[in-house]
Amino acid sequence: MIQLRFSGLTESTTRTPFGPYNPSMYKLTSLEICAGAGGQALGLEQAGFHHEALVELDRDACHTLRLNRPAWKVFQEDIREFDGRPYKGIDLLAGGVPCPPFSVASKQLGEEDDRNLFPEAIRLVDEIRPKAVMLENVRGLLDAVFEDYRTYISKQLKSLGYVTHWTLLNASDFGVPQLRPRVLFVALRREWADTFAWPTPSMIPHQLWERRLWT
C-alpha cells in the first residue's frame, strides 16, 4: 500500500497517488457497503461521487481506507447490523457483496450460503431509497442455476420502484491490463431509468500500457 501526505495540509487536501480529495468538488453522494480496501470506492470518487459513508467488516481493510482517505467516514461493522435510514435519499448505494455464494471456486450455495448479503443490500435499498444501486459480483452469478435468484432480486427492487439491469463486464475491455470479468447489477428509480446505458468497451493496446508504465 502507498500513501503520500504533505505536512501542513488539511485532511480535505490530503494527497495520494490518485490526486487530491476535496469533498466540495463532488455533487453526487453515495454509500459504499462491503467496501474492502476501497477499489470501487476510489473509482466512484474519480467519477464524481462523495462517499457519505463506507461500511466494511475487515479491520485491516478499514485501516487501509482510513489511512489513504482520512476524511472518509468508515464504519467497521457487519452490514447486517448497519442502519441505512440516516442516509435516506442519497444518490447511489454501491458495493461488492460477498462472492463465495456464487463462485465456481466455492460450492455455489447461493441464497443458502450464510455469506449471501443480497438480502441485506435489498433491505438497505428499502431503508435508503437511493436514486440508483450498483452491486458487483463474480461471473458465476449469471450461471443458469441462479436464474431464479436473479429474478427474485430484480422483483424485489422492482417492487420498490426500480428498473433493474444485469450484465457482465471485463476490466480488460476498459483499458485495465487484467482479465477480470465481473457481474454488474444496476437498478435505477423509474424516473431516471431512461437515462442509463452500459459503458462501451474502449480497449487500449498493450504497447500503450507498456509506454505508460515506463513514463
Q: Write down all domains in the chain, each with its CATH number in brackets.
A: 11-213 (3.40.50.150)
Nearest by Cα to 16 from 33, 30, 37: 37
What pLDDT is recorded for position 104? 62
- The answer to whether residue 128 scores a pLDDT higher than 70 is yes
What pLDDT is recorded for position 143? 87
Residue 99 known to be catalytic = yes
Tell me if the pTM is above 0.85. no
Q: Which of 62, 99, 132, 141 is catalytic?
A: 99
- Dihedral of CA atoms 157, 161, 167, 169 in degrees, nearest 10, equals -100
What pLDDT is recorded for position 112? 62
- The answer to whether residue 176 scores a pLDDT higher than 90 is no
